[in-house]
Structure 1
């Protein structure tokens, strides 16, 4: 089994509705996103998944989030844009684009600082 992993970053603001603390105020993070895709196979030249394809799909998805207020986006109107919900949302969106044949998104990790991160995956 091969694991293909990429990292990307974006900057965004958010606020957590119903949170009893500073995070209920509008604030921002420089998010780090790690996506891990698995494949048991390689193509005829020895590539399991071209990094370019995964980077392109993730960059397109993250462009909507970059320099935005996540709390105002449609996918976060009913749920808080926590790191957990962001990881789950990105996981599901990138899976729709990438899963096919032998390729499966395995996990998505969201870091909102150098010291805090959450990982989402489905078993």
Structure 2
């Protein structure tokens, strides 16, 4: 199996309202998110690629236009926009456009990652 990954960055706010009010994540706060998309294929295409990295440009546009510097709870219409939820959301967005999508990882801090891989 061949695998490629590409990383994207954006900043946004969110709030986890189901947590106790004294939990720091219950308050409105933000992160400098890192998103890593993994594509895989058993065979390479005629150019020797799993997928041309240029084909990921629509994901960059989606992130820049829809998520960057936004309040994710409002944009995604969900009360609990965790890193796990965001990883699944981005996986589904990618999979609908890039069938080679194998996983999406999301980092909110330099030491934490959440991954969605069916």
Q: Is it true that 1:30 corresponds to 2:26 in the alignment? A: no
CA drift of 1:13 comes to 0.5
TM-score (norm 1): 0.88
Match of 1:121 in 2: 117
Aligned length: 115
CA contact (8 A) 2:43 2:50 kept: yes
1:78-119 Cα shifts (integer Å, max 9, x gaps): x411101000100001110111xxxx2111000001011111
Residue aligned with 1:4, SS = strand
With normalisation by structure 2, the TM-score equals 0.91
What is the SS of the residue equivalent to 1:47? coil
Q: By how many angstroms is 1:16 displaced? A: 0.6
Q: Which runs of 5+ in 1 are unaligned?
A: none
RMSD: 1.2
3-state SS of 1:68 partner: coil
Moved over 3 A (4+): none
Q: Indicate if the aligned counterparts of 1:61 and 1:94 stay in contact, CA closer than 8 A.
A: no
Note the C-alpha offset of 1:28: 0.4
CA contact (8 A) 2:12 2:30 kept: yes
